[in-house]
A and B are shown apart, each in its own frame.
Chain A
Amino acid sequence: MCDTCGCHALGKEGGSSGFTVDVHRSLLEANRKQAEGNRLHLERLGATALNLISSPGSGKTTLLEHTADALMPGFSMGVIEGDIETERDAERIRKKGIPAVQLTTGGACHLDAPLVHQGIHRLVEHAGRDNFDFVFIENVGNLVCPSTFDLGEHRRIVLVSVPEGSDKPAKYPATFERADLFLITKTDLLPYFDFSLAEARKEALEVNPDLEIIELSAVSGQGMADWIAWLRNLRN
């Protein structure tokens, strides 16, 4: 009970000229509609879109840099970067010769579908072409909030790096429940951290039995072939 939230007053009803309206309206509906629009838009560009979700520093941008090296000869890609501030990630990706646009949320902890819609238009303009095989959407570094918002992606990927610890799937179940692929990154650091691959796999699959899991290190290259094969398979 407290005065701040008004919970002390809950239950005091009647005696007024009030009336009740059944609404049953989703507050996520506006985002969902725009996400459907984004999906169609991306499909018109020929693109398979991937939403990358993870904590800050789990290696999303580094993975994309190395992915570009492996994919670029045969496939075209574009990147929509989401961050609270700065163009830095987009600049890193552009250095690889990949069209990239930066969305800065100005404080918001997640990308939403209307913002990504702008990103798609800016990407087409920046790239000077309207066809892509893959559009990667790198969400704001945050393992919680982005999971609520459909961006119009075709597949959702969650990343956890070895230094973060293997308990993340159990701690952030909603994010894993809604993902298609779980990437365990920075596996070259396994000798130096107390990270149990078995625990991470087991707990992730308990939350989402359909989740695919790939272990990789973008720096050593271990597991990268599996990741690239997974991507190529999306285009078959």
Chain B
Amino acid sequence: MHELSLATGLVSTLEGLVREHGASRVIKARVGLGRRSGIVEESFRFGFDALKLESPSLRDALLETIVLDGDDLILMQVEME
């Protein structure tokens, strides 16, 4: 369930990046999930997909996840336009 609060953090970070780069929307975000992070990918994705609908610049954003070593959750790359 904590994945929802982490997904909220991703949404606000992406919204900040859109503003910062003068973009109109996010096409795709790549996120690295630490193997030992205790974060469930499906729940994180579910949270993000629910939250993004509330945000005009993220409505169609795709979330791509890759597994990393360690215990962090890292926004690695964002594709915008």
Contacts and interface: CB of A to CB of B under 8 A. Distances in A.
Interface in A165-189: 174-175, 177-178
Interface residues of B, number: 35
Contact of A22 (B5, B45, B72, B76): B76
B72 to A, nearest CB: 5
A18 B36 contact: no
Contacts, number: 94
B77 A20 contact: yes
A16 B28 CA distance: 12
A23 B17 contact: yes
A208 to B, nearest CB: 11
Contacts of B17: 21, 23
Interface string A8-34: 011001001111111111111010000
A5 B28 CA distance: 13
Which interface class (under 10, 10 to 19, 20 to 34, 35 or more) fits A? 20 to 34
B9 interface: yes
Interface stretch (A36-44, A106-114, A195-203): A106-114
Interface of B: 1-2, 5-6, 9-10, 13, 17, 21, 23, 27-28, 31, 36-39, 45-46, 49, 60, 62-64, 71-81
9 contacts: A5-B63, A13-B28, A20-B78, A20-B80, A23-B13, A27-B6, A27-B31, A27-B74, A174-B71
